[in-house]
Structure 1
Amino acid sequence: MLFQSSRIKFRKMTAEDAALYHAWRNDMEVMQSTNPYLDMYDIDATKEFVNQVILGGPSSKSYIIVEKETEKPIGITSLINIDYKNRNAECIIDIGERAFWGKGYGTETMRLLLDYAFLEMNLHRVALRVFSFNEKAIKLYEKMGFRHEGKARQSLFRAGAWHDVIHMGILQDEYLRDE
């Protein structure tokens, strides 16, 4: 069934989710591997970000990832920069609840998101960006069929060192071939 697997389901993100997102957005351990701008945000800045960036544009679709057994929200996933004419989008996954890290929730989330992107929206290509030090995420994306398409060399300064931002993508026929 669309938007759910055995352990998780997606629900559309709403403005009421700003407080929940605010907690994840201000957890430096959560944002370390996903946000290029490590900073603390006040609740008003988060509400503005949620309303204008996440919910405000027709070129994005954002969902809260919910663990089905407990109904606990555990993260957010999005398709952003959706280009309907050229059938392209960029995807983002943030598992905001650290207790759910390393337990396969990212894989399930990516599978549901790509099923939606390719089977329902009929997109041709989905891309993403990942920090070079995030080896677990890179392995997940490779396992899902994403290919390395390039990198922005030393474009992220984190923990006293420069890191690359790796660009990856998957095409609809590559994803469907692996189904």
Structure 2
Amino acid sequence: MKEYKTYLRALEIDDYIKIHKWHEDKKVYSRITGNKFFIAKVRDKEWIESVVLGDPKRMFWAICLKENDEMMGYTSLRDIDWRNRKAAIGGITIGREYQNLGLGLDAFDQVLKYIFNELGFHKLHTKYLESHLVTAHSIKKFGFKKEAILRNHVFKLGKYHNVEIASLLRHEHKTL
């Protein structure tokens, strides 16, 4: 059995402090499909409070290091359709100091196992910037297949970017 370096836990209200820092970090921001907004810490705190209180159509998890219990990122499951057993998996936001260490793959492997094996989902889909080759390469390792390109879909950093949509069926899922 694989020994993971990370683990997942529910987000806690105090996590807003780190999440706000990541939302303000240009390097972290450049890798996600979302747009940049200047948000006060209190708004990120309110957002986390709404996540913690729960919404049956989404789940959020903190990604923590086993060695010291430090939160190093977070991820989510959104647009949950319980009847059809499908959802959108949000990207993994990783703090700058933890990027390019393989920890995102470590966490994503656990997320996918949980979604398919524990929650019993049939299909996941995700969106990511076409220019973010690390994401494209990483999700292929797990069996995701590209379904579409949304041309000039996101305006960020002064230009329009294409967004790719990829999906994964349970029987296609590969573990690392």
Normalised by the size of structure 1, how large is the TM-score? 0.89
**Which stretch of the first structure deviates more once superposed, 49-58 or 25-34?**
49-58
Q: Given that residues 81 and 89 in structure 1 are in contact (C-alpha distance below 8 angstroms), is that contact kept between their aligned partners in structure 2?
A: yes
Residue number in structure 1 paired with 2:34: 36
Residue number in structure 1 paired with 2:91: 93
Residue number in structure 1 paired with 2:108: 110
Q: Is 1:84 matched up with 2:82?
A: yes
Q: Is 1:20 matched up with 2:42?
A: no
Structure 2, unmatched stretches of 5+, are none
Deviations 1:144-169 (A, max 9, x none): 11000112111112333321111111
Structure 1, unmatched stretches of 5+, are none
Residue 90 of structure 1 aligns to a residue whose secondary structure is: strand
1:26 Cα deviation after fit: 1.6
CA distance in 2, matches of 1:33, 1:95: 9
CA distance in 2, matches of 1:5, 1:91: 23
Cα RMSD between the aligned structures?
1.9
**Which stretch of the first structure deviates more once superposed, 39-48 or 79-88?**
39-48
Q: Given that residues 54 and 60 in structure 1 are in contact (C-alpha distance below 8 angstroms), is that contact kept between their aligned partners in structure 2?
A: no
Deviations 1:88-118 (A, max 9, x none): 1111233432121111111111110110010
CA distance in 1, matches of 2:93, 2:55: 23
1:15 Cα deviation after fit: 1.9
Q: Given that residues 149 and 167 in structure 1 are in contact (C-alpha distance below 8 angstroms), is that contact kept between their aligned partners in structure 2?
A: yes
Residue 93 of structure 1 aligns to a residue whose secondary structure is: coil
Residue 31 of structure 2 aligns to a residue whose secondary structure is: coil
Q: Given that residues 5 and 108 in structure 1 are in contact (C-alpha distance below 8 angstroms), is that contact kept between their aligned partners in structure 2?
A: no
CA distance in 1, matches of 2:149, 2:49: 30
Residue number in structure 2 paired with 1:136: 134
CA distance in 2, matches of 1:59, 1:155: 24
- Counterpart residue identity of residue 137, structure 1: T
Residue 48 of structure 2 aligns to a residue whose secondary structure is: helix
Residue number in structure 2 paired with 1:145: 143
Q: Given that residues 33 and 129 in structure 2 are in contact (C-alpha distance below 8 angstroms), is that contact kept between their aligned partners in structure 1?
A: no
Q: Given that residues 76 and 96 in structure 1 are in contact (C-alpha distance below 8 angstroms), is that contact kept between their aligned partners in structure 2?
A: yes
Q: Is 1:126 matched up with 2:124?
A: yes
Normalised by the size of structure 2, how large is the TM-score? 0.91
**Which stretch of the first structure deviates more once superposed, 22-31 or 119-128?**
22-31
| Number of aligned residues | 175
